Structure formats: structure tokens, C-alpha cells
Chains A and B, each alone.
Chain A
Amino acid sequence: MSQPDPHSFISALPFARALGMRLEAISAGEARISMDWDARFVGDPATGVIHGGAVSALMDTCGGAAVMSYPGATTTATIDLRIDYMRASTPGQRITARAVCYHVTRNVAFVRATAHDDDSENPVATASGAFTFDHVKKVSK
């Protein structure tokens, strides 16, 4: 399998499409993905704040994209993901996640991610996770 196209990686995921995720930037081991505020994603109508689960989905997708963009990666799956919710995101504002795959071993990729709304100085949430890591097989002719 050749190095996957990160753009098709996002659009090929039905649930990422359902949440309206957009790939903003991608480079070796780093990804930025955004998600617009939507009334259907709200967790508590009293506040209009996006449900933590939708933020988790964004963080997970962004973490996966960061792993996939790591040189030599083929496929990945999340092993575990921890999300810390720093503050409520502001209703109506887009949420952007940035993930960095900061270390890989033969089988595991380690990822850190943050998410913010219009106030990029104060993260809405941070995450850290471990993902499975599969290398491109070296083909000898």
C-alpha cells in the first residue's frame, strides 16, 4: 500500500463527514482539522456548548491524521485517548484541533493534541493518545 492521500483520508470517513470536519493543514506527523458549531452537536441546550463527544471525535480524527501523515505510515487505529476539557467552547464558534505525532516506535505512535475556538490562546481541550503504527513494507525486487 502506498502512502495514503491525507485529503481523501478525511473525506473517506463517513463520521468525519457527518460532523463536517475540514482538513486545514497536514505535514509530516502533524495535522489541523476544524469543525463548525452546529445545533445538532450540542450537549447541553441550556448552554449551547458542543458535546464533549463531538470534541473527542475531532481530536481522535486529527490524531489519526497526524499518524497517517507520519513518513512511512500505512494504517492506524486508536489504542487509547485521554481528553481533558479545560473550558466550555463558545457556542457558535468553530473548533480547530491540532495534533502532533511526536514519537513512533515499530508498532506504536504517540500523539498530543489541543483544540481551541476563536480564542486560540486558551485551549478548549487537550488530548494525548497512543495509536497503532504500521510501516510501509520495504519491497525488494
Chain B
Amino acid sequence: MKHPEPVQQVKYRRDTALQTLVGAIPYAQFIGIRFERHGDELTAVLPFDESLIGNPILPALHGGVIASFLEVAAIVELSWAMLWKELESGRLSAESMAQNMPRLPKTIDFTIDFLRTGLPRDAYARARVNRSGRRYASVHVEAWQDNRTRLFAQATGHFLMPPAAENPSGKA
């Protein structure tokens, strides 16, 4: 009988791969976005910072910060879903990812609903891939601050998937 993989090894592989993916997006670092992982489920976290303010009188997060946060959350979720199978099957390792970063999906369009003022505190977002084909994908993102059920923004975006030849699955 095959022994299950030690839990530390599983966590190390997944966390390293996620850090490598997020670390490869300079703009995500610039805004300060990080990701928390439970199994394959990701939550994007945007810690509050004064530089993220758009309206200093209210004060409120800049609409552009919110749009950026949601778009980063969508791209990372989509990439993560794309890489997960490769990673778990052993066809891709975090180390090989670091050396040869898989190409990321490209945004075709992105529509943001600003439901409430973004308060000067931490924000969270979770994205759901509603459809992911060989060429196109549709992703929905929800963002909240204090209450999970009181969204302050949501967005839907369409993405062009990287060509299969450039996917790690295209390699032996």
C-alpha cells in the first residue's frame, strides 16, 4: 500500500508554489496583496495602507486600488487553478516554476461593481472560476471588509488563457 505524503511536504510544495506565483507579479507586491490558502482555496488579503487612499476626506480606498485588488485576485485564482493539477501530479515543482515561470492569463475585459465605500481597513477577496476552457475563462470575484456577506465590491472578468505549448503540461 502506498503511504500518504507527509503533511509538511504537501504544505511546503503548495505554499512555495503559491508564493512563487504571487511573488512573480511586481504590481501585487507594490500594492501589498498577499494570499492565504486552505487546501486549494485562496483568499486574497489587502492590508490597509495610507497610500491606498483615494478620497482623503472620507477617507476611502481608491477605486483603482479596489479594481487592482480584484483583478490580481482573479488572475492568481485562475493561474492557481491552472497550476494545481500539474503541481499535485508532480509534473510541476515550485523550483521549476521559479526558474521558468508559466505564462499568466491575459485580461480581455474586467467589470467592477463598487457596492460600498472601501473603508480604511484590511480587505479580502475570493475569486471563482465560472468557466475555464482551452482559450477563454470567465472569473467572478467578491470582496469584503468586516462582514463576508456585505460585499464592498465585486467584479467579473474574461481572460485569454496562455497557449498550451507554453503550459507546463505541454512539456514532458
Contact (Cβ within 8 A) A85 B113: no
| B27 with A77: CB separation less than 8 A | no
A42 and B108 within 8 A (CB): no
In the assembly, what is the distance between CA of A85 and CA of B109, in Å?
6
Instruction: Give Cα distance in the complex from A34 to B116, angstroms.
Output: 27
Residues of B within 8 A of A59 (CB): 64
Contact partner, B67, options A12, A43, A50, A60, Cβ 8 Å: A60
Instruction: Indicate with 1 or 0, residue by residue over A94-130, a CB within 8 angstroms of chain B CB atoms.
Output: 0000000000000000000000000000000000000
**B binding-site residues for A, Cβ under 8 Å:** 24-31, 50-56, 60-65, 67-69, 71-72, 75, 101, 103-104, 106-114, 117
Known: A41-B26, A45-B24, A84-B108. A16 touches B54 (CB 8 A): yes
Which residues of B are found within 8 Å of A54, using beta-carbon distances?
A: 27, 64, 68
A18-B52, A51-B28, A61-B63 known; 13 other A-B pairs, CB under 8 Å?
A13-B54, A14-B52, A16-B54, A41-B27, A52-B71, A53-B68, A54-B27, A56-B71, A60-B64, A77-B114, A81-B111, A81-B114, A82-B110
Q: Which of A41, A57, A79 contacts B114 (CB 8 A)?
A: A79
State which of A40, A83, A88 has its C-beta within 8 Å of the C-beta of B110.
Answer: A83
Interface status of A5 (Cβ within 8 A of chain B): no
Contact A51 B25 (CB under 8 A): yes
Q: How many residues of A contact B (CB 8 A)?
A: 38
Secondary structure at chain B's binding surface: helix, strand, loop or mixed?
A: mixed
Task: With both chains docked as a complex, state the minimum distance between the C-beta of B35 and any C-beta of chain A, in angstroms.
Answer: 15
Is A39 in contact with chain B by the CB < 8 A criterion? yes
Report if A40-B30 is in contact (Cβ < 8 Å); known contacts: A77-B63, A81-B112: yes
A80 to chain B: closest residue by CB: B113
Mark out the residues of chain A between 1 and 58 whose CB falls within 8 Å of any chain B CB in the assembled complex.
12-19, 39-46, 50-54, 56-58
Q: Is the C-beta of A90 less than 8 angstroms from some C-beta in chain B?
A: no
- Tell whether, in the assembled complex, residue B56 and residue A14 are in contact, meaning their CB atoms are under 8 Å apart: yes
Shortest Cβ gap from A86 to chain B (Å): 10
* Chain A hits for B106, CB < 8 A: 85, 88
